[in-house]
Amino acid sequence: MAFPPSGSPAPAPAAAGGGPRPPAARPLFLGTYTSQPGGGTGIGLASYDPVSGEIFPGGTLSGVADPSFLALSPCGRTLYAVNERRPGGVTAIALGEDGGHEILNSRDTGGDAPCHLSVHPGGRFLLSANYTSGSVAVHPIGEDGSLGERTDLVEHSSPPPGPGQQGPHAHQILTTPDGGHVLAVDLGNDSVYTYRLDESAGTLAQVSVAALPPGAGPRALAFHPSGRYAYLANELSDTVSVCAYDPDTGRFTPGAPQPTGTGGVTSYPAQPLVSHDGAHAYLSNRGHNSVSHYAVEDEGASLRLLGTVPVGGDWPRHLALSPDGALMFACNQRSGAVTVFSVAPGTGDLSPVATATAPIPVFALPL
């Protein structure tokens, strides 16, 4: 399934098996790289059957450069994309109910290669992480969803870079579930920074810094529904850490690194994911081409590795659950395919149910 370049969705296609797209199909947005050979020409527009998991192409929203990560506004009417290039930017897109999406505007992030962004729960600020520059940025969001001029840019100047790193590499920025703090994960500095966001000025004030073991390379975290624990993927050490979060102080405390179950294969784990009920956690392993499956125990305080599941593609990067938690989407960057798994109720076991081709898929947002 390759997405044809277009400014608006293509007519509803037939399913791969010859049948029509089901009326209950849900929207699916795919992030890619536009500047790499074989990449896309913008944000992939698709839909999926929430029962079978089958994906149907729907064209491309062109005019968005290197949209490798996407985020939806709390109201659901605006989509935001990073522009992972040099210099970096972020773009706002108004989502039309009829699929006639409109690019609102783009803003400079003040750094290079932004690779992650998130919307503050209040819907008034967009947070982004500049990977190459090792900085995080804040942009105000207007009533129409468009982005204002940047209100803050914070560089991770300390602690010093970890082994083999030439500098900081901010890889993720997100608001804690209680809404009280903002966390920024920096792969280059082996650190997780805690900030408070001043919602009047749109600025970040550092509260604390949590250190990971030298050379861990923390990449991304996902919170347990309790909001007290998070699971952190350590890209360079091929481990995952259970981390405690204190809502009162904002302190983030990483636990001992745990194995990914990849058997010594250099894996570069990328994306942790937690089931909606908090009973299971998953982790994409790029070198091993698998998804690790963990049982979440002790009310979120511990993980027990259950095994790994082949992803059926090469270099699985981003993982995402459908809103009902019944399907998981795995983006296989190097093989140009999205694998869809069914998630078994109770056990959390994964079973592949569908595969679709796409140009360098690195992010999936199923609605």
| Dihedral angle, C-alpha 287, 290, 291, 293, nearest 10 ° | -110
Mean pLDDT of 265-288: 96
Kindly report, residue by residue over 93-148, the tens digit of the pLDDT: 999 988 889 999 999 999 999 999 999 999 999 999 999 999 999 999 999 999 99
Chain segment 323-366, per-residue pLDDT in tens: 999 999 999 999 999 999 999 999 999 999 999 999 999 999 99
- Residue 206 clears pLDDT 70, i.e. is over it: yes
Burial class (CB in 10 A: 0-12, 13-18, 19+), 88: buried
pLDDT at 4: 35
Q: Residue 62 — very low, low, confident or very high, per pLDDT cuts 50/70/90?
A: very high
Cross-strand bridge partners of residue 70 = 81
Predicted confidence (pLDDT) at residue 237 exceeds the cutoff of 70: yes
* Three-state SS at 148: coil
Find out whether 339 and 352 touch, Cβ atoms under 8 Å. Answer: yes
Average per-residue pLDDT for the chain:
94
Q: Are 24 and 50 in contact (CB under 8 A)?
A: yes
pLDDT reported for residue 292? 98
Q: How far apart are CA 261 and CA 265, in angstroms?
A: 9
Each residue's pLDDT tens digit, 257-275: 999 999 888 899 999 999 9
Q: What is the pLDDT of residue 23?
A: 81
User: What is the predicted pLDDT for the residue at 266?
Assistant: 87
Q: Are strands 78-83 and 229-234 parallel, antiparallel or unpaired?
A: unpaired
Per-residue pLDDT, 7:
38
Mean pLDDT for the stretch of residues 278-293: 98
Predicted local distance difference test score (pLDDT) of residue 91? 98
pTM score: 0.94
Task: For 4-38, write each residue's pLDDT tens digit.
Answer: 333 333 333 333 334 567 789 999 999 999 999 99
CB 245 within 8 A of CB 228: yes
So what's the pLDDT on residue 17?
Answer: 38
Residue 98: the pLDDT is 84
Q: What's the average model confidence in pLDDT over 73-84?
A: 98
Choose between 2 and 112: higher pLDDT.
112
Are residues 161 and 191 in contact, defined by beta-carbon separation less than 8 angstroms? no
